[in-house]
Amino acid sequence: VDGAGKVVQCVYHEWDDITETTASSFSPVAGSKISFTPKFADSLLVIIYDFYLTVVWVSGYQEVGAAAQISHNGTVFQPAPPLTRFEMYTNASATSSSGSNLFARQVKINSIAAGSTSARDIELQFAVRHDNGNLGAINRSSHHSHLLVQEIAQ
């Protein structure tokens, strides 16, 4: 590729696997992982996840929240905020029944130096705010999520 700033390659991935959790420890989102091989070690990788996140108040503790983070080659390089400050949150205290949902499309964008031309895995991880039986889900109700990885010449 001749010239910095040009796209060397672009990989698009879409998935509809449903992943649900009640755990506050981060775990992989099913279907979100791809293997990516940069063409140049000095490239910049731009990683964009667009995903459908749902939090559900089931019972008990009324604060329900969730967050996601990107894992690149086994290392989280865009960590989610601390468990006390989540990216999607609701307080269900005004809710009269179990099963109340909050759902929205979320986006995670970041970049990282390729560093080598070795293949690496890129994956989305997520967790809920508290281990209390309330639920977080990706792609609930037949929604789709997306990943776009662009390799940019430097």
Start-to-end CA distance of the chain, whole Å, equals 10
Mean pLDDT of 49-70: 84
The alpha carbons of the chain give a radius of gyration, in whole angstroms, of: 17
Residue range 94-140, pLDDT digits in tens: 555 566 778 889 999 999 999 999 999 999 999 888 777 788 899 99
Q: Which residues of 84-116 are buried (b: 16+ CB within 10 A; e: fewer)?
A: eebbbebebeeeeeeebebeeebebeeebebee
Mean pLDDT of 89-98: 60
What span, in angstroms and rounded, lies between the C-alpha atoms of 154 and 57? 46
What span, in angstroms and rounded, lies between the C-alpha atoms of 140 and 53? 8
Mean pLDDT of 71-92: 75
Q: How confident is the model at residue 147 (pLDDT cuts 50, 70, 90)?
A: very high
Q: How confident is the model at residue 61 (pLDDT cuts 50, 70, 90)?
A: low
